[in-house]
């Protein structure tokens, strides 16, 4: 609870501090450039132009085309000068991707109007020739990301939804009646959109927005997915994306901007949680440790003078934003109920079984408890403590359940490896005597 309230306070504070000169901070890390060419705007303003792919004309590269999604209208085709050539009102297409096979161009799109995955054939001139496949996918909730994978032997299509589901289809395009066949289901605990194929290295990358980047083997479904970039790990890449987060005109308290370095440091601190962050700060700001600690002291002076209720505690390796002494007692008195509070004994039993046996089916949970457990599992799902993590590869494909990241957060464990052994809660016969 303390962490949540402090995180809100930190974000509020960073918004107040950095609303003054947001553009100057970005210049520390990247050089602003101006695009040479811009496409004509889409029909609907706001957040409508979304994803794109390139139809490569290998004979005459200058005649290559940009095929883009307008997620409030359909598909739009531009030339390399940004001029719109064609627009096709096929529905609210969110993401697109393209594949070439035997001189023919196929564009796949996630069509939210129908909750369909669709594959269109385009001519090299950018004209839509036909819709080859239009398949409703009721098992996906609000279709989202999409990518082709063009293997040596097989071609695949990967599609995600807003609930963290990813499905893989084998596609047969080089036939009079193109077909797709579902071959694989993947489950993530939160939103997935971006999916990218790397055919050269036989890898598909999947972006789970709250977690990080996963890689999977598109050919062998028995190879476990691997988390290769964890979002909470401090990196320069993550920082650059977070520099775009600004709130203007928040609150009346202002911190004086003594130095650009200090403002940048506070921004870095706000989004960093690395064990080795002090070294990262020194490298990014190009300052030594003495200067870094001086900046920390200056920040603490402002925090104290403005009465924010927290300060920076730091040493040679890391720093933490912590509350002043009296704040935790007050927070304890006003904190809302924990997601674990109020759980019935059956629900707690079910949660314990899933935690230790995961991934586990509902039937297995019920067998261990000796009673039906569907109601308890639904309760745990509604509280964000467990989720459907996949399906067991047996007839009937029973659903597998696992605990969420929120379960670890609310129970105070860093990982499932930290779960206590059963023996820790039972005395030996000799001790009882």
Write the pLDDT tens digit of every residue in 297-333: 877 777 777 666 777 777 766 677 677 766 666 666 6
Residue carrying structure tokens 């109920």:
337
Output DSSP code: residue 342: T
pLDDT for position 6: 30
pLDDT for position 377: 93
Reduced to 3 states (helix: H, G, I; strand: E, B; else coil), residue 271 is helix
| Alpha-carbon span 160 to 34, nearest angstrom | 33
Regions of the chain where pLDDT drops below 50: 1-30, 232-259, 424-433
| Alpha-carbon span 420 to 427, nearest angstrom | 14
pLDDT for position 21: 36
| Alpha-carbon span 203 to 226, nearest angstrom | 11
Output DSSP code: residue 198: E
Reduced to 3 states (helix: H, G, I; strand: E, B; else coil), residue 142 is coil
Rounded to 5 degrees, φ, ψ at 22 are -65, -35
For residue 359, whether the previous peptide bond is cis, meaning omega lies within 30 degrees of 0, is yes
Strands, E, within 112-217: which ranges? 116-122, 128-136, 143-150, 155-161, 165-172, 179-187, 192-198, 203-208, 212-216
pLDDT for position 206: 94
For residue 365, is it left (φ>0), alpha (ψ between -120 and 50) or beta?
alpha
> Is the full-model pTM beyond 0.95?
no
Using alpha carbons, select from 421, 322, 340 the residue that is nearest to residue 384.
Answer: 340
pLDDT for position 305: 72
Close Cβ partners of 281 (under 8 Å, ≥ 6 residues apart): 265, 268, 269, 272, 287, 292
| Alpha-carbon span 120 to 116, nearest angstrom | 12
What are the structure tokens assigned to 380, written together? 């745990």
pLDDT for position 264: 62
pLDDT for position 328: 62
Using alpha carbons, select from 150, 160, 44 the residue that is nearest to residue 92.
Answer: 44
Structural domains for the chain: 2-29+243-334 (1.10.10.10), 49-230 (2.120.10.30), 345-432 (1.10.10.10)
Write the pLDDT tens digit of every residue in 64-86: 999 999 988 999 999 999 999 99
| Alpha-carbon span 395 to 342, nearest angstrom | 37
């Amino acid at each position: 609870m303390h962490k949540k309230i402090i995180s809100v306070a930190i974000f509020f504070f960073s918004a107040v501090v950095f609303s003054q000169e947001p553009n100057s901070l970005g210049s520390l890390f990247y050089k602003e450039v101006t695009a040479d060419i811009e496409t004509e705007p889409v029909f609907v303003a706001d957040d409508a132009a979304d994803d794109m792919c390139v139809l490569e004309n290998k004979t005459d590269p200058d005649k290559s085309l940009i095929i883009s999604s307008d997620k409030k209208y359909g598909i739009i085709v531009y030339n390399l000068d940004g001029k719109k050539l064609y627009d096709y009102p096929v529905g609210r297409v969110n993401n697109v991707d393209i594949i070439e096979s035997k001189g023919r161009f196929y564009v796949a799109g996630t069509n939210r109007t129908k909750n369909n995955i669709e594959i269109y054939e385009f001519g090299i001139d950018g004209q839509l020739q036909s819709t080859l496949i239009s398949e409703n996918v009721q098992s996906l909730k609000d279709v989202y990301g999409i990518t082709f994978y063009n293997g040596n032997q097989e071609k695949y299509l990967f599609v995600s939804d807003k609930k963290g589901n990813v499905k893989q289809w084998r596609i047969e395009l080089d036939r009079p009646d193109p077909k797709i066949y579902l071959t694989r289901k993947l489950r993530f605990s939160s939103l997935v959109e971006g999916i990218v194929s790397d055919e050269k290295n036989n890898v598909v990358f999947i972006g789970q927005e709250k977690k990080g980047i996963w890689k999977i083997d598109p050919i062998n479904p028995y190879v476990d997915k691997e988390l290769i970039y964890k979002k909470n790990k401090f990196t320069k890449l993550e920082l650059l994306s977070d520099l775009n987060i600004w709130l203007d005109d928040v609150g009346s308290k202002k911190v004086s901007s003594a130095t650009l370095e200090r403002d940048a440091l506070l921004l870095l601190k706000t989004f960093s949680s690395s064990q080795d962050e002090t070294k990262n700060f020194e490298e990014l700001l190009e300052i030594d440790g003495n200067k870094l600690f001086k900046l920390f002291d200056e920040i603490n002076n402002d925090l104290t003078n403005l009465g924010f209720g927290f300060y920076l505690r730091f040493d040679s390796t890391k720093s933490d934003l912590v509350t002043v002494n009296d704040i935790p007692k007050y927070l304890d008195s006003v904190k809302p109920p924990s997601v674990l509070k109020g759980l019935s004994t059956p629900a707690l039993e079910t949660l314990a079984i899933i935690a230790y046996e995961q991934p586990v089916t509902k039937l297995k949970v019920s067998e261990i408890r000796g009673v039906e457990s569907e109601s308890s599992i639904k309760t745990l799902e509604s509280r964000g403590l467990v989720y459907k993590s996949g399906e067991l590869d047996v007839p009937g494909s029973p659903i597998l359940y696992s605990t969420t990241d929120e379960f670890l957060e609310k129970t105070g464990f860093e990982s499932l490896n930290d779960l206590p052994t059963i023996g820790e809660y039972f005395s030996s016969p000799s001790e009882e005597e």
